[in-house]
Structure 1
Amino acid sequence: MSVRFCQGRTRAARRIQAWWRGLLVRRALLHAALRAWTIQRWWRQTLQQRLHRRRREALVSYAIRERAVVKLQSLVRMWRVHWRYCQVLNAIYVIRGHWQSHHCQTCALLRGHCVVTATHLQFHIEITNP
């Protein structure tokens, strides 16, 4: 074998090796890029899930707070109506007690009418003669 033939074969072998290494480098780069893309995609999904979880927790917390406020308002309103009703009832008892102790018990009759609405308590007393 001549020196020239060996140099040609060596040159050809080097070209093939360079092509193969380039292919391997490109393949390694492609694999690294694919891994990076996969990690980025996973991270974006994780961030989106965290954001969704935080929003849901905020919404649930808001709903619980609103429900508690409405319940408290309802209890306060109910207590105020009950307190006002008790006041009117006590006033009726006082008026009736005074009227019954009046010396002319057969002269007149007491008639009462009560209307309870969401905001007002109306009471009307009539004294009628038979």
Structure 2
Amino acid sequence: MHDIILSDFNIDWMMPPSPLPLTSSDFGFHPSLVIHSYDPTAPDKELQAIKIQAWWRGALVRRTLLHAALRACIIQWWWKQKLAELLEKRRRAALQQDMRQNWAVVKLQSYVRMWRIRLRYCRLLNAVRIIQVYWRWYTCQNRGFFQGSYELTASRLGLELEISLGSKICRITDCIPFPIKN
């Protein structure tokens, strides 16, 4: 039989091949049977067996911790993804709300501008109408005039009219007799 010397193997970096965490029940012996304390008077093979068992227990613990750390990393990654999705959803909702508010403000500003321009237009239109009325009256007054006189007696009506249009003057003189009934 060949003796295994512990110094021939670098067992510090070796990991068990199984991806699942193993327990002592997987090997058919109870943990209390394999735990030994270090005794300097123990024979050399027993000391080597204790070192191998200690390494194996350490490897199992390291593998269990590695699996736990990997699972924790997966859970953390999933949680970060969910938080990122939630933040993106909130950001989009805030952007949409902001967009709706901006649209409402722009629409309201547009209505106010339209109302102010319409009010100004109506005032200007009213002023134009007033100016047109006065202008027409003024041009009519400057262009020509109409004056006259009449004389009323019991038997006749005498009229004298003078119409002036710019440089032209028209004079009308007429006498209208009344019919006398006997």
Aligned to 1:12: 63
For 2:163, give the aligned amino acid.
L
For the residues of structure 2 that align with 1:86 and 1:42, how far apart are their CA atoms? Answer: 65
The answer on 1:82 being equivalent to 2:124 is no
TM-fit CA distance, 1:79: 2.1
TM-fit CA distance, 1:7: 3.9
For 1:126, give the aligned amino acid.
K
Aligned to 2:8: none
For the residues of structure 1 that align with 2:128 and 2:99, how far apart are their CA atoms? Answer: 43
Judge which range, 25-34 or 44-53, deviates more: 44-53
For the residues of structure 2 that align with 1:52 and 1:10, how far apart are their CA atoms? Answer: 62
Q: What whole-Å deviation, never above 9, does each CA across 1:57-80 have from its counterpart, x for those lacking one?
A: 111110111001101111122123
**How large is the RMSD of aligned CA atoms in angstroms?**
3.4
Aligned to 2:47: none
Aligned to 1:101: 149
Name the CA shift for 1:129/1:35 in 2 (closer, same or farther; >3 Å): same
Q: What whole-Å deviation, never above 9, does each CA across 1:37-76 have from its counterpart, x for those lacking one?
A: 2111221222222222211211111011100110111112
Q: Are the equivalent residues in 1 in contact too, given 2:163–2:169 (CA < 8 A)?
A: yes
Identity of counterpart residues, as a percentage? 8
The answer on 1:51 being equivalent to 2:92 is no
Q: Are the equivalent residues in 2 in contact too, given 1:110–1:128 (CA < 8 A)?
A: yes
Q: Which has the higher helix share?
A: 1
Determine which structure has greater relative contact order: mean sequence separation of CA pairs < 8 Å that are 6+ residues apart, divided by chain length. 1
Q: Are the equivalent residues in 1 in contact too, given 2:164–2:170 (CA < 8 A)?
A: yes
For the residues of structure 2 that align with 1:125 and 1:8, how far apart are their CA atoms? Answer: 129
Q: Larger Cα Rg: Structure 1 or Structure 2?
A: 2
Aligned to 2:38: none
The answer on 1:66 being equivalent to 2:117 is yes
Unaligned 5+ segments in structure 1 are 113-123
For the residues of structure 2 that align with 1:17 and 1:54, how far apart are their CA atoms? Answer: 54
Aligned to 1:110: 163
Give aligned pairs, total. 113
